[in-house]
Structure formats: C-alpha cells, structure tokens
C-alpha cells in the first residue's frame, strides 16, 4: 500500500516473510516465524506504505535450498532475476 504522502518502502518478500529464507535440514537462515514484526511495526508507526518485491533467491531456487555465499549468487542468472525484480518495482512506482 502506498500512503497519500507518497512515502513507501520497497521491501523484498524474504525480509517480511522469514519462512521463505534459505533452510536446509536443521537450522538455516530463518530468524523468525512468518512476518518480521519489527519491520512491519516500524513502517506502520511512521505511516510508510509497502511495495513487496519478489525474493530473487526464492524465485530462482525455491525452498528448501542450501544457503549460499555472496559468491554463490554471483551468476548471470541471479543478476538477471534481480534486474527483472528491480524493473518491476520501478514500474509499480
């Protein structure tokens, strides 16, 4: 939702919904169950709207998936996915 003052945050899906973060076997990167209330509460307190963007990792690799390093994401396929997500976010705005 975009508020009437035009203040909006573009947030990746995985930042809002931790269940889409990488997990593999025991443990994984998920820090919270479901939505990250600290992020949502902060935006709500300041009257900032949200445009939820796709998570590139989840879009390309699904879940479960093994966590990757920065170098593991340094691929043409991943960069192309990020560009598509950014272009869609710009079109939304």
Residue 72 belongs to some domain of the structure = yes
The pTM is what?
A: 0.69
Residue 82 lies in a domain: yes
Q: In sequence order, what are the beta bridge partners of 8?
A: 49
Is 2 part of a structural domain of the chain?
no
Give me the number of domains the chain comprises: 1
Q: In the structure, what pLDDT confidence band is assigned to residue 74 with cuts at 50, 70 and 90?
A: very high
Is the model's pLDDT at 5 over the cut of 50?
A: yes
- What is residue 47's three-state secondary structure? coil
Rounded to whole angstroms, how far apart are CA atoms 77 and 73? 9
Q: What is the pLDDT of residues 20-54, one digit of tens each?
A: 766 655 555 545 566 678 888 999 999 998 888 98
Residues spanned by the domain of 85 = 8-92
In a domain, 3, yes or no: no
The token pair that represents 20 in the structure block:
């889409």
Strand partners, 12: 53
């Amino acid at each position: 939702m975009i508020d009437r003052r035009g203040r909006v945050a573009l947030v990746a899906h995985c930042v809002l919904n931790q269940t889409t973060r990488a997990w593999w076997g025991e443990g994984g990167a998920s820090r919270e169950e479901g939505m990250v209330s600290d992020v949502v509460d902060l935006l709500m307190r300041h009257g900032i709207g949200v445009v939820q963007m796709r998570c590139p990792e989840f879009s390309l690799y699904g879940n479960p998936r093994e966590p990757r390093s920065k170098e593991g994401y340094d691929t043409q396929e991943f960069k192309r996915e990020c560009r598509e997500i950014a272009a869609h976010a710009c079109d939304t705005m």
